[in-house]
Amino acid sequence: MSDIDTPADLYYTPEHEWVQRTGPAAVRIGITDFAQSQLGDVVFVQLPAVGDTVTAGESLGEVESTKSVSDVFSPLTAKVIGVNQDLDAEPEKVNSGPYTGGWLIDLEVSSPEELDAALAQMLDAAGYALITAE
């Protein structure tokens, strides 16, 4: 699967979400290139609202494609501080730029230490590449 993009500067979950640290206690979340390729053409994205709290391991929203509807799981227990509003009108951005214009939400945890601990539990690019090669 060498054609799947897995940026080395991101963290990954076994559920195919990517996590990018954007501040001391903040991250941006999206689904991976592998996940969007498995889904097919994305036609709708349902996300939480700014101010909502999401819980690690639980669904934070859904990505609907021409093939199926898939849950997006939160990698952290955190507050939603940003939502990609562009996806309302252009859900296909998840396919065309899963790591750029197709990001999903921004989250904030209570402290940098809490975020450090959570990120330490996630996969790096090499670890994620191993699970997508199975």
d(CA 21, CA 40): 27
d(CA 103, CA 89): 14
Residues whose CB is less than 8 angstroms from the CB of residue 56 and which lie 6 or more positions away in sequence, other chains included: 74, 75, 76, 77, 118
Q: What is the pLDDT along the chain (134 residues), one digit of tens a residue?
A: 347 899 999 999 999 999 999 999 999 999 999 999 999 999 999 999 999 999 999 999 999 999 999 999 999 999 999 999 999 999 999 999 999 999 999 999 999 999 999 999 999 999 999 999 86
Per DSSP, helices labelled H in 24-134 are 33-39, 86-89, 93-96, 112-120, 125-132
Q: Are 52 and 80 in contact (CB under 8 A)?
A: yes
